[in-house]
Amino acid sequence: MAKKERLVAAIQNGTVIDHIPAGKTFQVVNLLGLTTLETPVTIGCNFESKKLFRKGIIKVEDKFFTDEISRLSVVAPNIVLNIIHNYEVVEKKTVITPDELRGIVKCNNPKCITNNEPMDTLFHVVNKENGILKCHYCEKEQDINKVELV
Ligand code: ZN
């Protein structure tokens, strides 16, 4: 068996999340709430990658993601989800940045109402290509790569 195959053992059914920038693997775990799942989850960090210097891979057995994958665009827009049925990749989904991000990232304006009241944040993605978000409440623009997660 090739070395690569041993590192990432196959799963029968589920989702393999690939091309995660190495330093962001655990942010992905948090965003998808993987620590609360009851199905087996395998988290791999620092694999060699042609596209990225090092990448993370997460395998989640018997779980198929839907809307929550748009959250991943906050940490890494180029993540690929491989949908596995019967050990075969039946679909590859790429993460698409949504038009709005609700309750996912913090506003970096300390005076913003969302930092002073118990409420969800809401951002409009005003420039998807460059990852520019605009706070719905204080209208401050911020870089998607620099925001903190809620
Ligand atoms: Zn704000």
- DSSP letters, 8-68, are S---SSEEEEEEEEGGGHHHHHHHTTGGG-SS-EEEEEEEE-SSSSEEEEEEEET----GG
Ligand 1 centroid vs 72 CA: distance in angstroms? 21
Q: What are 63-99's pLDDT values in tens digits? A: 998 877 878 888 877 789 999 999 999 999 988 788 9
Which 8-state DSSP code applies to residue 7? H
Q: Contact, 86 vs 12, CB < 8 A?
A: yes
Q: What are 31-52's pLDDT values in tens digits? A: 888 989 999 999 988 888 877 6
How confident is the model at residue 64, as a pLDDT? Answer: 93
Ligand 1 centroid vs 121 CA: distance in angstroms? 8
How confident is the model at residue 1, as a pLDDT? Answer: 42
Ligand 1 centroid vs 6 CA: distance in angstroms? 46
Ligand 1 centroid vs 73 CA: distance in angstroms? 20
Q: What is the mean pLDDT of residues 101-105?
A: 90
Ligand 1 centroid vs 140 CA: distance in angstroms? 6
Ligand 1 centroid vs 109 CA: distance in angstroms? 6
Q: What is the mean pLDDT of residues 100-127?
A: 94
